Amino acid sequence: MKSAEEQLSTYKSVHLNPKNIKTHFVGIPLIIWSLFLLLNLIPLNFALSNDPVITFNVATVFTVGVLIYYFVLHARLAIGLTLFIIPVLYTSGLVAQVPHAIWIALVVFFVGWVIQFIGHHYEKAKPAFVDDLNQLLIGPFFLMAEVYFMLGMEKQLLADITPMARDKRRAIEAVKK
């Protein structure tokens, strides 16, 4: 598994424009929330012999898996992501009870992606996930890192990833020429 620094620098290499980063602070949370809403619509039922059925949903399983992944990558950032994801899980679960919630999820998902692609228009670079699907999981991780950086936290992480990101971006641009 690639380190947090490696993954963040790859993501940051196509997220250097402040306008792009700002659009991601809107688009990524919308996409995440809509995905959680969709996952909340998929129930999981378990029963052992004559025991009562235990019901939860795919969103809960996904949350646990993703948070474990984030904690393995970087525990301090994962704490912030946990504080973000728990309300997302809760509110999307509430909306999942609304009739036709799937349409709400799809509209929010679409709007989130439109905002993302507007940001990449400013960046003049393709989204990171185009070359590495794992970068879809790194988007929220990157935004949490950006929040920490804005708060003056994780200065060493910022110092480590920024030159790596710029080097990767120069390499990307050299290939284009």
Residue-wise pLDDT tens digits, 63-94: 999 999 999 999 999 999 999 999 999 999 99
- Which CA distances in Å does 31 have to 27, 114, 157, 167? 6, 10, 26, 29
In-domain check, residue 155? yes
In-domain check, residue 3? no
Number of domains in the chain: 1
Q: Are the C-beta atoms of residues 20 and 120 closer than 8 Å to each other?
A: yes
In-domain check, residue 64? yes
Under DSSP, the state recorded for 129 is: G
In-domain check, residue 140? yes
Residue 104 structural domain: 18-172
In-domain check, residue 5? no
Residue 8 to residue 37: CA distance in whole angstroms:
26
pTM of the prediction? 0.89
CB atoms within 10 A of CB 166: 14
pLDDT of residue 174: 81
In-domain check, residue 161? yes
Q: Which amino acid is at 6?
A: E
pLDDT of residue 59: 94
In-domain check, residue 112? yes
